[in-house]
Amino acid sequence: MTIQLGDIAPDFEADTTEGRIRFHDWIEGSWAVLFSHPKDFTPVCTTELGAVAKLKPEFDRRGTKVIGLSVDPVDDHRAWAGDIEETQGTALNFPLIADPERKIAGLYGMIHPNANDTLTVRSVYVIGPDKKLKLTLTYPASTGRNFEEILRVIDSLQLTANHSVATPADWKSGEDVIIVPSLSDEQAREKFPGGWKTLKPYLRVVPEPQKAG
């Protein structure tokens, strides 16, 4: 199964390191990041989980819940958490889903048979409060992800949702943004009374709304 941007993220029930959840109920109107790991007790995964644990306050600040997934059982997850704390200097502070039967991996298309027919690739799904998929990224098992980039993407997605702006290449929070083309100049004047810089009729640059004024 392949889920695409704008699709409702598949719901599921699963055991996690923090108890059993139903995914849509767990989201509860928040933004959410679901990310998969090939296997417990592997080196790159250990560093990734430590990185997310350290960044959890940043996800919290954005009203975003994080949850990991691996095809191993909960008992293995809990044992692995000790290694993560020992080697990465931070305790696991978000749930890890157990998916030993690979049911959730199948729902989300996390297993790519030509890469490995049993282990999940490094997939990331950013899901909005409306339960719709806003972003998906897929890395090979050998490459650790940049979770600062995931935070940057969430900043951009939330700006678009709240202020009708898009973000240019290499944008970072606090920099200028672009008024979305679907907004007419008349509509833009209502949203951005301070004005904007027109580089082309379709390219209107404005200070990030939260920073303007």
**Where does residue 109 fall: left (phi above 0), alpha (psi -120 to 50 degrees), or beta otherwise?**
left
Asked if residue 131 and residue 73 are part of one domain, the reply reads yes
Q: Is residue 123 part of a domain?
A: yes
Q: What length is written for the chain?
A: 213
DSSP assignment string, 123-167: EEEEE-TTSBEEEEEEE-TTS---HHHHHHHHHHHHHHHHHSEE-
Asked if residue 120 and residue 56 are part of one domain, the reply reads yes
Asked if residue 199 and residue 139 are part of one domain, the reply reads no
- CATH number of the domain to which 190 belongs: 3.30.1020.10
- Answer yes or no: are the C-beta atoms of 100 and 62 closer than 8 Å: no
Q: Is residue 152 part of a domain?
A: no
Asked if residue 169 and residue 139 are part of one domain, the reply reads no
Torsion angles phi and psi, residue 36, rounded to 5: -105, 155
Task: Using alpha carbons, list the distances in angstroms from residue 124 to 10, 35, 145, 192.
Answer: 14, 4, 9, 33
Number of domains in the chain: 2
Asked if residue 190 and residue 106 are part of one domain, the reply reads no
Tokens 């600062």 found at? 148
Asked if residue 18 and residue 87 are part of one domain, the reply reads yes
Q: Is residue 88 part of a domain?
A: yes
Asked if residue 81 and residue 47 are part of one domain, the reply reads yes
* Amino acid letter, 186: E
Distance separating alpha carbons of residues 154 and 149, to the nearest angstrom: 9
The edge-to-edge listing of strands for the beta sheet with 133-139 is 19-22, 13-16, 96-98, 64-70, 31-37, 122-127, 133-139
- First-to-last CA distance in the chain? 46
Q: Is residue 196 part of a domain?
A: yes
**Chosen domain end from 112, 145, 178:** 145
Q: Could you report the per-residue pLDDT of 83-132, keeping only the tens digit for each?
A: 999 999 999 999 999 998 889 988 898 866 555 555 666 899 999 999 99
- Tokens read off for 195: 């004005």
- CATH number of the domain to which 74 belongs: 3.40.30.10
Q: Is residue 65 part of a domain?
A: yes
**CA 106 to chain CA centroid, nearest Å:** 19
Q: Is residue 56 part of a domain?
A: yes
Asked if residue 130 and residue 61 are part of one domain, the reply reads yes
Asked if residue 174 and residue 130 are part of one domain, the reply reads no
Task: Using alpha carbons, list the distances in angstroms from residue 109 to 131, 153, 204.
Answer: 17, 21, 38
Q: Which residues contact 93 (CB under 8 A, 6 or more apart)?
A: 53, 56
**Domain enclosing residue 109, as ranges:** 13-145
- Answer yes or no: are the C-beta atoms of 140 and 150 closer than 8 Å: no
Q: Is residue 211 part of a domain?
A: no
pLDDT by 10s per residue, the chain, length 213: 578 999 999 999 999 999 999 999 999 999 999 999 878 888 999 999 999 999 999 999 999 999 999 988 899 999 999 999 999 999 999 999 999 888 998 889 886 655 555 566 689 999 999 999 999 998 888 899 999 999 999 999 999 999 999 999 999 999 999 999 999 999 999 999 999 999 999 999 999 997 654
- Answer yes or no: are the C-beta atoms of 114 and 87 closer than 8 Å: no
Q: Given 33, 45, 104, 111, which residue is catalytic?
A: 45
Asked if residue 195 and residue 108 are part of one domain, the reply reads no
Asked if residue 138 and residue 57 are part of one domain, the reply reads yes
According to the model, what pLDDT value does residue 68 have?
Answer: 94
Asked if residue 17 and residue 101 are part of one domain, the reply reads yes
Catalytic residue flag (residue 45): yes
According to the model, what pLDDT value does residue 113 have?
Answer: 52
Q: Is residue 153 part of a domain?
A: no
